[in-house]
Amino acid sequence: MSVIAANLQAVHQRIAAAAQQAGRQPADIALLAVSKTVPPDRIRAAYAAGQVAFGENYVQEGVDKIAALADLRHRLQWHFIGPLQSNKTRLVAEHFDWVHAVDRLRIAERLSAQRPAGMAALQVCIQVNISGEASKSGVAPAEVPGLAHAVAALPGLRLRGLMAIPEPEHDPAAQRRPFAAMRAMLQALRTDGLDLDTLSMGMSGDMEAAIAEGATLVRIGTAIFGARQYP
């Protein structure tokens, strides 16, 4: 078994243990392998070990990898998970399957207009700045309902749910509080008529807390691929 395959197995065991502890089914929690700075051959190795969903933070790097792995295009699922600027929306709309960090209507409108007609709807999540950090992207919680209804109405997009990266905490109870707020926010949107199914939250350091509060997708990078090698 390769190192990447062994790492993936260990992460899936963590997910399963956290799900069991929360009284949930492991199959209800998807694993997104964060592959920023990871070369295509290592992504290919992760695919060989059963991983199909990969997350990229930088537009051009992601587009280059999608091209390098074009033979697997219909088998892989590419998620854009970084902050998105207006001048990069076309590349994302033309190449990715998911966008996790929509935080203003203008970005969603551009993605909608630029999604090629022959492609499936772009799956999107709204990023919520749940901890109110000045350094983080994301919409304020009070603005989520209005933005969610506006994004859900756009053609070429399918609003799937919410994403957040809370302020780091070491205490499990403190980790759970922002995730609980996210869960309540998603439920309120569903009660208000939106067909949503995704809570993209939880990384290596707080995955268990996120799963306990209803995460449906966790984003894990270094635990799968090892320490990142920045150029």
Q: How far is CA 97 from CA 3, 92, 132, 179, in A?
A: 27, 9, 28, 25
Structure token digits, residue 218: 């966790």
Whole-angstrom distance, CA of residue 192 vs CA of residue 215: 20
Q: For residue 170, how many other CB atoms are within 10 A of its CB?
A: 8
| 52, 70, 172 from 74: Cα distances, Å | 10, 8, 38
Supply the range of the domain harboring residue 132: 3-225
**Strand ranges (DSSP E) for the chain?**
30-34, 53-56, 77-80, 98-102, 122-127, 157-163, 198-200, 217-220
How high is the pLDDT of residue 231? 60
206 half-sphere exposure, CB direction, 13 A CA radius? 24
In angstroms, rounded to a whole number, what is the distance separating the alpha carbons of residues 93 and 84?
Answer: 11
Strand 98-102 to strand 77-80: parallel, antiparallel, or no bridges (unpaired)? parallel
140 Cβ neighbours under 8 A, 6+ residues apart: 128, 129, 132
Assigned domain for 83 exists: yes
- By CB atoms closer than 10 A (0-12, 13-18, 19+), residue 207 is buried
User: Would 230 be classed as within a structural domain?
Assistant: no
Do 197 and 158 contact (CB within 8 A), yes or no? no
Q: Which two tokens stand for residue 88?
A: 């990069």
Count of the separate structural domains present in the chain: 1
Q: What is the CATH number of the domain that holds 94?
A: 3.20.20.10
CA distance 129 to 167: 9
Q: Is residue 231 part of a domain?
A: no
Q: What is the largest CA-CA distance in the chain?
A: 48
Is residue 28 domain-resident? yes
- Model pLDDT, residue 71: 98
H or E segment and range at residue 45: helix 40-48
* 140 within a domain of the structure (yes/no): yes
The predicted model scores a pTM of 0.96
User: Taking the chain, what is the end-to-end CA distance rounded to the nearest angstrom?
Assistant: 28
Residue whose structure tokens are 């199909």 = 52
List the pLDDT tens digit at each of the 231 positions of the chain.
899 999 999 999 999 999 999 999 999 999 999 999 999 999 999 999 999 999 999 999 999 999 999 999 999 999 999 999 999 999 999 999 999 999 999 999 999 999 999 999 999 999 999 988 777 889 999 999 999 999 999 999 999 999 999 999 999 999 999 999 999 999 999 999 999 999 999 999 999 999 999 999 999 999 999 887 666
